[in-house]
Amino acid sequence: MQNKGLVKFFAILFALVSIYQLSFTFVANKVKDDAKNFAGGNPEKEIRYLDSIGKEKVFLDFFTYNDVKDKQINKGLDLEGGIQVILQISVKDVLVQLSNNSKNPIFNKSLEDAKLNQKGNQSYLDAFFEAFEANKGTTKLASPDIFANRNFDDQELNFNSTDAQVQKVLRRKVDESVESAFGVLRSRIDKFGVTQPNIAKLGQTGRILIELPGAKDVDRIKKLVSSKAELEFWETFKAEELGGFLQQANESLKATVKVDEKVEAVKAEDSLSKLLTDKSADSTAAKKGNNPLFDKFVSIGGGPILAIVNTKDTAAVNGYLKRNEIKALLPGDKRFAKFVWGKPVTKTDAKTKKETTTVDLYALKGNKDDVAPLGGGVIVDAGDTFDQMGKPAVSMQMNGAGAKEWERLTNNAYTQKGFIAIALDDVVYSAPGVTSGPISGGRSEITGSFDVAETKDLANVLRAGKLPATAEIIQSEIVGPSLGEIAINAGLTSSIVGFLLVCLWMVFYYGRAGWYANAALLLNLLFLFGVMASFGFVLTLPGIAGIVLTLGTAVDANIIIYERAKEELREGKTLAEAVKSSYGWKGAMRSIIDANVTHVLTGAILYTFGTGPIKGFALTLLIGIFTSLFTSIFIARIFIDRDIAKNRSLMFCTPLTKNWFTGFHFDFIKVRKWSYIFSTLVVIGSCVSFAVNGLDEGVDFVGGRTFQVKFDKPVEATKVSEELSAVFGVAVEAKVFGDDNQLKLTTKYKIKEDGVEVDKEVNEKLHNSLKKYYTENISYEKFINTYDGKKVGVLQASKVGAAISADIKTNSFWAVIGAMLVVGLYLVISFRKWQYSLGAIGAILHDVIFVLGLYSLLYKYMPFHMEMDQHFIAAILTVIGYSMNDTVIVFDRVREFLAGNIKGNFKDVVNASINTTLSRTINTSFTMIIVLLIMFVFGGDSIRGFIFAMLVGIFVGTYSSLFIATPIVYDTMSKKQVEEIESRHTGNQA
């Protein structure tokens, strides 16, 4: 080997750099352990401790903790625990704002059509342009009542602008809005107080990924990141001013709303008389429960509060008040009244211990433009504080213009004995009166039923500013820290056991050369982790799976080289000659490069189309390929060359394994018709199963919500499924997940509806339905939120919206198709014959259908989950990569033999090619199977289905490379090509 000294230099240098980079991780973990011990299980205390030492030097008297933290290997949520959400910035909201709330019917119809017709992976903006083009007639985007308005200057956009020019401007404006939202969210997250938060824009999709490792309060986090923070100040109507309207509305509804006669009359005559100006109201009807509107009221309010309503009845009351015939009853001076709700309040009955959540109903003094007299844009500073009663509150400071308007509003409220509602995102947080005259200076305070965390969050969002449009949570993932700890233990166990078994096999089979391969493998792992630490990559559970898989594939190059060296030694060459030949381009190098290029191509496609943990898996595989090639080709060679220099005997085998897998003379071509028949039957059977059984598509592909719930005793999945289905009104699937006291629940309940309130409603329904299955009463917070040491309740939860599931499905389809086409194209270029590409793609297609068919047949019966999700697609692509790897090795030998002097007809040459590569095929497949079996046993329930797919794929990929791919090449060669081959290889046959 040339430049051996240079290789040693770089190997030592890379090793030292890797150790140096990994040292930051060890130091950071040590500091975190100290923080946990200091905090004694209090997460807020732990964060404060880490914040307090952020600027203290903790490593080499030079690096602070903040420096060390930034350089460590970050753990993904599945290992660390925490919360991840993907937000979709509402492009529809941005367009409405840019159009100045246009009432143009074509514009508004196009907005709705865009939402209905948006295709997978198509942006909402492109869908809007398509819809507008279909609807516009003679209308232009630059019409004065659409986009040619005061939001744009004449140079940017005017009524003479073409649709193409307007589209260009709108794309830029939408990008600016997403960038603005990114900045607002970054500011909010930075002030929230979690360690190592991650926020990133996802390409040009208008989506923003937020990861908060260690975050535990689920509802609080979701509210923080999705709140638009539209702060508004409104004057309110008093309860007595709308009493007559409410009575008329109630009477009008009697004619059209069917009321349940069993409803208990909650409004007696004396209660109604407090609100209604007409004392002669029909109290008899009230007592009978025949009041559609009033029967939804828990009690009558007073001051700015019209009524108090249970949260479950707010939708019905909203529906009543939005009816055209009801709105027509409003007096002329109140026709723009805007009905909104207050902040939910939960109380527990002292006797029954039953919790009830209610909200207050307000009527704001709206206007035709629905614009508040004073908006949150005037706020220049905000902070959490305490009011005169010692209760948590939020203080605000307004700018000059805001202070002037605030003084006018408070003066009106003082002189008219009225109230001013302070609303955030159309939720009234408080509606105080003004008793001491107008407030000047622009400094004020928001009070209400807050806790300290809420005032901190509210002040945070007010300081950070409002989002430019609604941010909808289209995907979320919640992982408890205890689940992360289990995942880490499972990953470490499978990694260590897999590594040891592969090492043992290499020594058993290759003797001293096996030790050299193991040394290269150990250095490979050091390099791999060093690269991850150097570039700040995130380690996930699928990433660990990628590392363990790298253990199996890392020895493949050594196996190819060693098997070639044994062939050369059998032909009588010296050790030096055999090593030189096996490491040469015509020896093993061509096969190694071809095999690994196909692997790199599939890994790159997986990285391109995958999201979240799947990117981590792909990235680990890609890094592992390059580090494996370096260590296998160069590091093991250093040890081998040392043996040659010292005249040591090196046979690349042991006395026991010397003749293993040699002397094969199986006629693969002769049995190809039987293999074709078998594979055809498998494909037909799989297609029939697809039609009859379908596939167990996970929420990644169809959208939905999943919850991993653990109980303190065994539960019956069927019973839980039936009960939850009745509560939710849609099917809720319950499957045992691992132990019989743990279930995986899946439902599509309200998956098309966005909003934190919907997510909380689902969580509350789940808690109320399942709490009876626990030995001790479990509170909502302990059931839903994550915390250190959590053993029961929701350990993991995820939500995938319909829009993003369509994108995932589309990406997965193109990832699989793209992998096959790209690899096929590479083989055409490398082998210069389309037959090789056809054989490879035919084998891949066979393998994919085989694995899919097996999952379709077995998913109802296997004791582990076999869902079609992103992890499964990762497994399929890995199978494609492996199948290509194995097939290319055989193809390379076919090409070598056809170009060489081996004697025999075309069939003999092809059979000899397959038989002489069987030793490498069996060894590589065996090491892969060992690693995957260890992962299957020790890797944990969450990746068992994913590993099973790869296990099946290894068996099927090995079969197809031998019995499908190469026979296809044989059968598709033209008669002329076969004659030319045989004329060269049979002419001097003995």
pLDDT in tens, 16-48: 888 888 888 888 888 888 887 887 766 667 767
- Residue 162 pLDDT: 86
Q: Strand, coil or helix: what is 873?
A: helix
Q: Is 57 helix (H, G, I), strand (E, B) or coil?
A: strand
Task: Look up the pTM and report it.
Answer: 0.64
From 44-48, 362-366, 514-518, 718-722, the region with the lowest mean pLDDT = 44-48
- Strands in 82-89's sheet, in edge-to-edge order, are 198-202, 207-213, 82-89, 471-479, 793-800, 704-710, 739-747, 732-737
- pLDDT confidence tier of residue 154, bands split at 50, 70 and 90: low
- Give the range among 157-171, 369-383, 401-415, 707-721 with minimum mean pLDDT: 369-383
**φ/ψ of residue 297, rounded to 5:** -90, 130
At 269, the pLDDT band (50, 70, 90 cuts) reads very low
Q: What is the pLDDT of residue 678?
A: 92
Most confident region among 75-79, 96-100, 816-820 by mean pLDDT = 96-100
Least confident piece of the model among 193-197, 522-526, 540-544: 193-197
pLDDT band with cut points at 50, 70 and 90 for residue 464: low
Would you state the pLDDT for residue 688? 92
What does the pLDDT average to over 165-172? 86
122 token code pair: 């198509």
- The pLDDT value recorded for residue 286 is 39
Mean pLDDT of 889-908: 79
Residue 355, helix vs strand vs coil? strand
Q: Which of 18-32, 375-389, 430-444, 892-906 has maximum average pLDDT?
A: 18-32
Average of pLDDT values for 366-380? 80
CB within 8 Å of 853: residues ≥ 6 apart: 682, 683, 685, 686, 687, 689, 690
Residue 275 has a pLDDT of 46
d(CA 494, CA 498): 6
pLDDT band at 266 (very low <50, low <70, confident <90, very high): very low
Q: How many CA atoms lie within 13 A of 789 on its CB side?
A: 5
Name the phi and psi angles at 499, rounded to 5.
Answer: -60, -45
- Quick check: 270 pLDDT over 70? no
Of 452, 309, 467, the residue nearest 377 (C-alpha): 467
Lowest mean pLDDT among 133-142, 379-388, 851-860: 379-388
Per-residue model confidence (pLDDT) at position 762? 86
DSSP 741-797: EEEEEEE-TTTT--SHHHHHHHHHHHHHHHGGGSSS---HHHHHS--TT--SEEEEE
CA nearest neighbour of 883 among 825, 936, 943, 958? 958
Model pLDDT, residue 271? 42
Lowest mean pLDDT among 191-205, 585-599, 686-700: 191-205
